Amino acid sequence: MAKKTKSRRSRFAEDAALQALVRYGPEETGLQALAQQAKADYGVSVRQAQTTGDLTLQAAKEAIPGVARIYDQAGLDQAKTASLVSPELAQLSGPGAGVLQRGGALEVAQQLANLRASKASALEDLTTRQVAARQGQQYGILNARQKYVSDIQKILAQSQGLARQKGAFTASTINSLAEAAAGRQNRKDVARISQEGQNARQEDQQNFTASQKERDRKLRRELADKPKGTLPGGTKLNTPNMHGRVADQVKSLEAVIREHKGDYSSRHELAQDLLVGVPASTVTDPKTGAKLKDPGMPKAPSQLALQAALDVVYNGGISRGTARALHQRGYSVNMLGLPSGTKTKPKPRLKNPWSARVSAR
């Protein structure tokens, strides 16, 4: 199975993606690093909160038995002291002995009550510390999570904005590459069509030159095949003086035709006036009202000379019909010094179908 070639659009997309990577790659890498750092910081904060809470909770838990033992020992000491004093108070007699005995008992009871209250307060404080440690642990974890979510949201917003910029840059780069490629192709097409047109013109010119040379060679062969002093068709060649007179007439008419060519819409109209001549006259300028002198045009000395002059001016050379007429009258085109062959413009070539496409681009 033949390997599929990449389309021009996909090639532009790859080039644009590479340019976007070079331009936005460092920023994307930086955002990824920030996300990884935020995740790592979250893990560290959670572990710190857990460790601190666990240590405080364990310390309070381990302190409870010791505190309880301290208060229990204090109660035993107090009871021991009371047991030593109570017999002596019991041996007292007299009117005030009962008061002392009751006071001593009350003091001992009060001290024991104070010890029990202190023990309960101390144990309650340790329990409160355990609860606070657990709450602090949870608060630290929650605070770390909130900070991590906030950081990730900021990074995500920056990443989305960067992605939009990257997408817009990629699309713009694809269009720029496509337009540049279209421009290069357009210039290539224009150059190719121009070269084809130039080659066609050169080919037409070469064909025309070859045809002209072929006609000249044919004429020379015809002259060479004829007896000396004759023209094609057997007509006797006129004298050089006669050729010179007709050549002067043609040259003079050429000058008149070139002078008045722009005043006429067609060759036929100009030929009609030259055949009869136009006398000089005075005309009035319709714009200024000034009197202008029109020198007119001289009458052509002969229709044949006029026809030859018209061929030279309008066609660039003597046509076959005019050459035949000159030969019939005994005149040689070469001896008259006139260009032979009508230099008509090459036929227009068909427009290359690519030109419409190029112009449309």
| Residue appearing with tokens 């190029």 | 358
Half-sphere exposure at residue 78, Cβ-oriented, CA atoms within 13 angstroms: 18
Query: In this structure, are residues 256 and 262 in contact, taking their beta carbons and an 8 Å threshold?
Result: no
Closest CA to 355 of 179, 217, 190, 234: 190
Q: Where are the alpha helices (DSSP H) in the chain?
A: 8-90, 97-225, 240-260, 267-276, 303-310, 320-328, 333-336, 353-360
Give the number of other CB atoms < 10 A from CB of residue 66.
Answer: 10
Distance set, CA 342 to CA 262, 305, 349 (Å): 21, 16, 20
pTM of the prediction? 0.37
Query: In this structure, are residues 275 and 299 in contact, taking their beta carbons and an 8 Å threshold?
Result: yes
Domain boundaries, the chain: 9-90+98-186, 220-336
> What phi and psi values does residue 359 have, to the nearest 5 degrees?
-65, -35
Question: CB neighbours of 43 closer than 8 A, spacing ≥ 6?
Answer: none
Q: What is the pLDDT along the chain (361 residues), one digit of tens a residue?
A: 445 555 666 778 888 888 888 888 888 888 888 888 888 888 888 888 788 877 777 777 777 777 767 766 676 666 666 555 556 555 555 555 555 556 656 666 676 677 677 767 777 777 777 777 777 778 888 888 888 899 889 989 988 988 899 889 888 888 888 888 888 888 888 888 888 888 888 887 777 677 767 766 765 665 555 555 666 666 788 888 998 999 999 999 999 999 988 888 889 999 999 988 888 888 777 777 788 787 888 899 999 999 999 999 999 999 988 988 988 888 988 888 888 765 544 444 444 443 443 344 3
pLDDT at 100: 55
DSSP track, 64-114: HHHHHHHHHHHHHHHHHHHHHHHHHHHT--STTHHHHHHHHHHHHHHHHHH
| Residue appearing with tokens 């009962």 | 98
Q: Which residues of 345-358 are buried (b: 16+ CB within 10 A; e: fewer)?
A: eeeeeeeeeeeeeb
Q: Which fold has domain 9-90+98-186?
A: Helix Hairpins (1.10.287)
